[in-house]
Amino acid sequence: MSETLDLLIAARQGDENARKKVIEDNIRLVWSVARRFQNRGQELEDLFQIGCIGLVKAIDNFDVERPVKLSTYAVPLIMGEIKRFLRDDGMVKVSRSLKEDGYRIKLASEVIRQKCGREATIKEIAVATELSQEEIVMALEANTIVDSIDRTLTNQEGDGVSVSELLPSEKNEQLRIENRLLIQQLMKELSVEEQQVIKMRYYEDKTQTEIGSLLSISQVQVSRIEKRALKKMRQ
Query: Distance between CA atoms of 180 and 138, rounded to whole angstroms?
Result: 41
What is the Cα–Cα distance from 82 to 7, expressed in whole angstroms?
26
Question: What is the secondary structure of 37-80 as a DSSP string?
Answer: T-SSSS-HHHHHHHHHHHHHHHHHH--TTSSS-HHHHHHHHHHH
User: Residue 131's pLDDT is what?
Assistant: 84
Asked whether the beta carbons of 166 and 152 are under 8 A apart, the reply is: no
The segments of the chain whose pLDDT lies below 70 read 1-2, 88-96, 134, 138, 141-179
CATH topology for the 2-146 domain = Four Helix Bundle (Hemerythrin (Met), subunit A) (1.20.120)
What's the confidence (pLDDT) of residue 138? 66
**pLDDT score of 158:** 46
Beta-bridged to residue 162, according to DSSP, are: 152
Check residue 176 and give its pLDDT: 64
Instruction: Tell me the sheet residues that pair with 153.
Output: 161
**Interatomic CA distance for residues 148 and 52, integer angstroms:** 25
Cα–Cα distance, 198 to 97 (Å, whole number): 50
CATH 1.20.120 placement within the chain: 2-146
From residue 19, alpha-carbon distances to 6, 78, 194 in Å are 11, 17, 39
Q: How far is CA 73 from CA 70, 89, 116, 154, 156, in A?
A: 5, 25, 23, 38, 40
Q: Give the three-state DSSP class for 154.
A: strand
Prediction pTM value? 0.43
Residues of the chain with CATH 1.10.10: 189-234
Q: Tens digits of per-residue pLDDT, 193-232?
A: 998 899 888 878 788 888 988 889 988 899 899 899 988 8
Q: What is the CATH number of domain 189-234?
A: 1.10.10
For position 18, what pLDDT does the model report? 83
